[in-house]
Amino acid sequence: MLRARFALGVLPLLFAARAQAQLPANGQRISNNDYTIDLAQTPVLSSTRVTGLAGAYVAIGEGTDGSAQNPAGVAFRDPYSVAHFDYDVALGLTFSSALARSDVFNSGRRTVLSRRGEESLAFLNVAGNMQLGRLGFGVSVDLQDYSLERAQTRSDAEQERLRAQFVVFHTMGGYGFQDGQLLLGLGVRLALLQVVSEQRLSGNEQTLFDTAGVGLEGGVLYKPNGARFRLGASLRTQVTSRASDANQTRVLFADDPLDELYLPDRVTLPWEVHAGAAVQLGPRPFNPRWIDPREELSPTKRELKHNERERAKRRAQAVADTSGTPAERAARLEALDAELASEQLLDDLRLARLQRELNELLLRRYYDMRRFHLLMTASLDVLGPVSQAVGVESFLERKVQRSGTEASFSPRFALETEAIPNWMRVRGGFYVEPTRFADNPHGSRWHWTFGMDQRLLPWEVFGLSPSPSIWRLRGFVDVSRQYFSWGLALGIWH
CB 28 within 8 A of CB 390: no
**Which pLDDT tens digits describe the chain residue by residue (494 residues)?**
444 444 444 444 444 444 445 778 888 888 888 899 998 989 998 888 999 999 999 999 998 888 888 999 999 999 989 899 998 888 777 766 555 567 888 888 776 544 344 445 667 888 889 999 999 999 988 888 776 655 444 444 455 677 778 888 999 999 999 999 999 999 999 988 887 877 666 667 777 778 888 999 999 999 999 999 999 999 999 999 886 655 566 665 555 666 677 888 889 999 999 999 999 999 999 999 999 999 999 999 999 999 999 999 999 998 888 888 888 888 888 998 899 999 999 999 999 999 999 999 999 999 999 999 999 999 999 999 999 999 988 887 788 999 999 999 999 999 999 999 999 999 999 999 999 999 999 999 999 999 999 999 887 766 666 567 888 999 999 999 989 888 888 888 88
CA atoms within 13 A on the CB side of 40: 35
Alpha helical stretches, state H, 22-88: 48-52, 63-69
CB 288 within 8 A of CB 224: no
CB 217 within 8 A of CB 226: no
What CATH number is given for 29-288+376-492 in this structure?
A: 2.40.160.60
CB 12 within 8 A of CB 381: no
DSSP bridge partners of 383: 272, 408
Q: What is the distance between the alpha carbons of residues 108 and 44, in angstroms, rounded to a whole number?
A: 18
Q: What is the distance between the alpha carbons of residues 19 and 386, in angstroms, rounded to a whole number?
A: 19
CA dihedral over 438, 439, 442, 445, signed as positive or negative: negative
Catalogue the E-assigned strands of 340-468.
374-383, 389-390, 408-420, 424-433, 445-459
Q: Which residues of 357-381 are buried (b: 16+ CB within 10 A; e: fewer)?
A: ebeeebeeeeeeeeeebebbbbbbb
Pairing of strands 36-38, 389-390: parallel
What confidence score (pLDDT) does residue 148 get?
63
Q: What is the distance between the alpha carbons of residues 131 and 183, in angstroms, rounded to a whole number?
A: 13
Coil, strand or helix at 116 = coil
- All structural domains of the chain with their residue ranges: 29-288+376-492, 293-367
DSSP bridge partners of 88: 129
Q: Which residues contact 319 (CB under 8 A, 6 or more apart)?
A: 333
CA dihedral over 51, 53, 54, 60, signed as positive or negative: negative
DSSP bridge partners of 277: 231, 378
What confidence score (pLDDT) does residue 296 get?
93
What confidence score (pLDDT) does residue 256 get?
61
